[in-house]
């Protein structure tokens, strides 16, 4: 049996489910725990009642990086760019021009 470790815990079930979806979509097996223990808070310590996301110990570091990006955003923020089709200036988060629907050019081929 694979050893599991707790990756994330939070009182907000929606946030816990979002983290589970992010980790699961990367192909990492995820187990949710304590999804219905909120009513036991007070009888049990709060940190034992919060919904939790657990992953295999071998996948923990990769899952931790994905968790950080999901909650904090990517480490490398794309730079703003200028559409080669129409000259529209676009924020780095966009991969397609909203003015003419041209795709973002490869890195280094268009001025920012």
Mind listing the pLDDT tens digit for each residue in 27-47? 999 999 988 766 555 566 666
Rounded to two decimals, the pTM is 0.62
Q: Interior CA angle at 77 toward 69 and 99, to 5°?
A: 120
- What confidence tens digit (pLDDT) does each residue in 38-84 have? 655 556 666 677 899 999 999 999 999 999 999 987 777 788 999 99
Where along the chain do its domains lie?
Answer: 4-72, 77-112
The correct answer on CATH 3.40.50 for the domain covering 4-72 is no
27 CB-near residues (< 8 Å, 6+ apart):
none
């Amino acid at each position: 049996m694979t050893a599991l470790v707790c990756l994330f815990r939070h009182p907000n079930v929606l946030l816990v489910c979002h983290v589970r979806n992010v980790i699961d979509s990367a192909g990492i097996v995820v187990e949710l725990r304590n999804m219905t223990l909120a009513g036991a808070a007070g009888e049990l310590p709060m940190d034992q009642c919060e919904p939790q996301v657990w992953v295999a110990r071998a996948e923990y570091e990769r899952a931790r990086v994905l968790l950080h990006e999901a909650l904090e955003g990517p480490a490398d923020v794309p730079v703003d760019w200028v559409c080669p089709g129409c000259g529209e200036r676009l924020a780095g988060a966009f991969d397609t021009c909203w003015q003419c629907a041209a795709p973002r050019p490869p890195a280094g081929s268009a001025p920012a």
